[in-house]
Structure 1
Amino acid sequence: MQLKVGDKIPNFKVKDTNGNDFDSQEMIGQKPLVIYFYPKDNTPGCTVQACGFRDQYEDFTDLGAEVIGISSDSVESHQKFTQQFRLPFTLLSDSDKKIRKLFGVPPDWFGILPGRATYVVDKAGTIIMIFDSVKAEQHIQKALEAIKTLK
């Protein structure tokens, strides 16, 4: 079942880039979130997308939002990816794809690849925008536009 605009994000617990426990419920009530799902660390489109969020990270934080990337890669892979590209935001390791299933992220390329989707969530945990596109570079601007509507 795919989440829709107006739905609350589901509860989930997973390991972050540093191997620490991440609990989605600890973020609710704190700040708006940009949660983006991507197929794989160190692939061309995913690197473009991560670096795009990196390059505009300050624009998101200036608006009070936090960026979180999620893929099925391991914590170790996320650590290397983060270090190599100096990513200032958290990556979550969804190795069993439970979070992807909770959100209902549709697969890409005829079901061959994990899907690429971005969810913008207000401070209360309600989804205000979903952008589902293989065009990695478009996710950053769409998310930023949605975050700006919260001000």
Structure 2
Amino acid sequence: MSAMGHERIASAATDGLSKLLAVTDAHPGEGLGDAYLGRTTTDVLAHVHAWHALFEGWIAAHQEGGSVPYPAEGYSWKELDSLNEALYKAHAGRSYESVKDALLESHQMVMSLVAQIPESELVEVSRYEWLGDESLGDIAHECLGAHYEWALGILEAAGLT
């Protein structure tokens, strides 16, 4: 598959978020049992929101010319489970509405950031040293549309779709 550009990122993100919120709004704060570590629909939204914040941080660090903490400060990709647990703990106990509002805001922020990046920079593989052999467009898609699809899969496994 070719790298993700503006149109494909926006389409998948908009459609995915709409589908995700249709399910979670019908089941706010509902437990997901074994489908997601005994967590809730609120926790699923918080997880996606937290990855939006990471994406924002990557872009900010890159624009400032500093070291990009990819995937996050103090974590490597081999420690993804530990990173996700830290993200969970950072948002645990928040209300469904506060997490949903944060998600909507961070979704718009990431969409805005992506829209400001020239198409050629989104699709060029290896353009950003900190991404290795991945394109920024593919990473943006992973934090948006693909992450919404992941969340919908969790909800489906829990019997909510």
- Normalising by structure 1, we get a TM-score of 0.32
Higher strand share: 1
Instruction: Identify the structure with bigger relative contact order (alpha carbons < 8 Å, sequence gap 6+).
Output: 2
Higher helix share: 2
TM-score normalised by length of structure 2: 0.31
